[in-house]
Amino acid sequence: MTQFGRAIALDRPDQIAGVSPSRKPISDVTIAPPIHSDDAKIARPINVWERFCRWVTSTDNRIYVGWFGILMIPTLSTAAIVFLLAFVAAPPVDIDGTGGLIAGSLFSGNNLITAAVVPTSPAVGLHFYPLWEAASMQEWLVNGGPYQLIVLHFLIGIIAYQDREWELSYRLGMRPWVSLAFTAPVAAAVSVLLIYPIGQGGFAAGMPLGISGTFTFMLQFQADHNILANPFHQIGVIGVFGGSFLCAVHGSLVTSALIRHRPTPAAAQRRWHDNPHGAYSLRHLQINQQKLLWRGASFKSARSLHFFLAAFPVAGIWSAAMGIDMAAFGFDQFASQAAGGGLQKAVVPTWADIVTQANLGMHVLSETEQSTFPIFLGEAATPEAARLGLAVDPDAPARALTGPQLSGAIAPAIPTV
């Protein structure tokens, strides 16, 4: 069977039996036998361009290239090569546009966790900053030019990959659902790496390309936009985690509904997709699904079930990307405020804040020559407090203070930030 787009050519007689009548070839049409002549023996030469077109669009290749693959391969290769070079050996980048350098490469003393490709300097802003626009290679590197090169080539490459999936689906006569599903990660990458920097006024607001840089960007994004309170981001979390949960449930339900066949020689030679009854019972799967989830949770067919399993996380990622786009242009304030103004973008303390406070306390204790607990204050309270850098209330009586009185008489002198 040979397939060209949505047209199917039946090459063998045994294939015609399994084809619907509407797709069978017309029986009263005969194909004339080939003419054996001297002119027919001379094959028409195929030029280089036609051979190249056949090779690009051929589905017999181990890896399908396609017309969009011609754009995908060089752009993704360029992004990968420049990323590796910058990750390993890029010099420090002017992070604030005033000469303050930050090092992100491995050669600058980072490890695989802390290393990252530092975003472009704020002095560049949203200007297109290729290598030929800089006075020298050193200036281009210090201003973070590799970050812009990597991001733009990467985005072009993944968009071309998504279109290549559509092209391959067309060549195979499939529906373009794979290409449609891949638009979700493409939308997320475009939102984080392109739309958010545009909304913030410069590529310096982009996500650093590294492990710790990614987490730093997430924490800073939460502090600036309170993205966890954005309903679109919440829908995205429900879609991703809910989709993972439903896929795990589906796998367990399929396992519970497998059809056991008798070990006959014919059944041993038959493959699972050649079984007329299928590999599992959809009816039993639906029964177990209603017992596990809720009554009425069923689908009409296996196609609708798998479509839902694919569409649920895809819609969630689309929604999360929309939440990032809202935050990029300042529309997150409409989604972050609860009714009555109860939520005013307050930063919620995390366990990291508690650890930081504990570390600061341990540093203060390690700087003193002797233990400060318990504290007994008498006539020598003022000199001792002065040595420890504490502020003492002069009106407090010179006696031992304990409990709540201690906080009123003596307090640490905290510098104003």
Domain edges within the chain: 2-57, 66-225, 232-262+278-336, 357-412
Q: Would you say residue 250 has pLDDT above 80?
A: no
Residue 308 reports pLDDT greater than 90: no
156-185 core/surface letters (b: 16 or more CB in 10 A; e: else): bbbbbbbbbbbbbbebeeeeebebbbbbbe
In this predicted structure, which of 47-51, 175-179, 228-232, 365-369 has the lowest mean pLDDT?
Answer: 365-369
278 closest CA partner among 299, 254, 304: 254
The pLDDT of residue 345 is 60
In this predicted model, what pLDDT tens digit does every residue of 258-288 receive, in sequence order? 766 666 555 555 555 555 566 666 776 677 6
Strand partners, 94: 101
CATH class in words for 66-225: mainly alpha
* Its pTM surpasses 0.75: no
Q: Each residue of 303-319: b (16+ CB within 10 Å) or e? A: eebeeeebbbbbbbbbb
